[in-house]
């Protein structure tokens, strides 16, 4: 039995460059892993099975962990017999890529446990067949991702940063956010401008279409930016999580945020994990 950490991520920048002929979009994004993590436990068993108590997580071949194992079996001609227990801390539909991270962790784990000897580059190539963010998680560090997200360049960022994750009860469908990108408009009074950080500009082109449909997220970002505890705030990916780069004690701010905005907000203090 062996336990593997499976981190969440945030997009520290996300530029949508153009719509491709196949309907997908070319992007350039800087992504960073977080201290917030799921855990995957691998135990030898008869056949391949999944266990998870988190509501709504499929336990069949539609789960990205299962897809990752099946793809690796096809790649190597091997059969993997494990019971995989998924302990979830990353919320679903949050723009934090918990499912993609779990898939990448499965590839990393099976490569090690089965002594397959596949390089990170090969694992990332396989991961990109499962989902756009999977390749990023193979490298377990901050990366610039291009193309549809599958072209991954590891980078070093020298910073130690606390981060507050804030998610409302609703989720955002990523395909719908991208589909609305070209025709969307900005909301008056909401800041979409790039924020200057030690690693460069922090900006998210998907805020425009998502905020237009989900006005609460624009209100949440604006409220966070007004606080002295916050050095910067932005939506991660296509949402619905908005994150804030924080300094000092945020407990009072969190209490007030829930009182003023929404008592049902999911809030997690963590850190950028470089």
Q: Catalytic residue numbers?
A: 9, 133
Q: Judge whether 94 and 240 are in contact, CB under 8 Å.
A: yes
Tell me the sheet residues that pair with 3.
Answer: 41
Q: Residue 205, Cβ neighbours under 10 Å: how many? A: 20
Among the listed residues 3, 272, 270, 9, the one whose alpha carbon sits nearest the alpha carbon of residue 137:
9
CA–CA–CA angle 208, 209, 215 (5° rounding):
80
Among the listed residues 169, 247, 177, the one whose alpha carbon sits nearest the alpha carbon of residue 207:
177
Q: d(Cα 227, Cα 69) in Å, to the nearest integer? A: 45
Q: What are phi and psi of 246, to 5 degrees?
A: -115, 165
């Amino acid at each position: 039995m062996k336990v593997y950490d499976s981190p969440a991520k945030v997009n520290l920048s996300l530029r949508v460059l153009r719509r491709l002929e196949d309907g997908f979009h070319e992007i350039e994004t800087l992504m960073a892993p977080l201290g917030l993590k799921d855990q995957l436990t691998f135990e030898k068993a008869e056949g391949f099975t999944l266990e998870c108590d988190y509501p709504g997580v499929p336990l069949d071949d539609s789960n990205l962990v299962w897809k990752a194992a099946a793809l690796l079996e096809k790649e190597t001609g091997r059969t993997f017999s494990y019971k995989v227990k998924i302990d979830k801390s990353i919320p679903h539909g949050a723009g934090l890529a918990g499912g993609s991270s779990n898939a990448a962790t499965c590839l990393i784990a099976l490569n090690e446990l089965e002594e397959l000897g596949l390089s990170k580059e090969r694992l990332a190539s396989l991961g990109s067949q499962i989902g756009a963010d999977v390749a990023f998680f193979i490298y377990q560090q901050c990366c610039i991702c291009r193309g549809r997200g599958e072209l991954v360049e590891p980078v070093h960022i020298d910073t130690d940063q606390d981060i507050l994750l804030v998610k409302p009860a609703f989720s955002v469908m990523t395909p719908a956010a991208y589909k609305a990108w070209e025709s969307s408009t900005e909301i008056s009074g909401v800041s979409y401008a790039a924020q200057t950080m030690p690693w460069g500009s922090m900006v998210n082109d998907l805020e425009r279409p998502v905020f237009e449909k989900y006005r609460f997220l624009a209100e949440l970002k604006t409220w966070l930016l007004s606080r002295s505890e916050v050095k910067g705030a932005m939506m991660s990916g296509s949402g619905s999580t908005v994150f804030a780069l924080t300094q000092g004690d945020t407990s009072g701010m969190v209490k007030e945020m829930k009182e003023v905005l929404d008592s049902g907000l999911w809030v997690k203090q963590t850190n950028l994990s470089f």
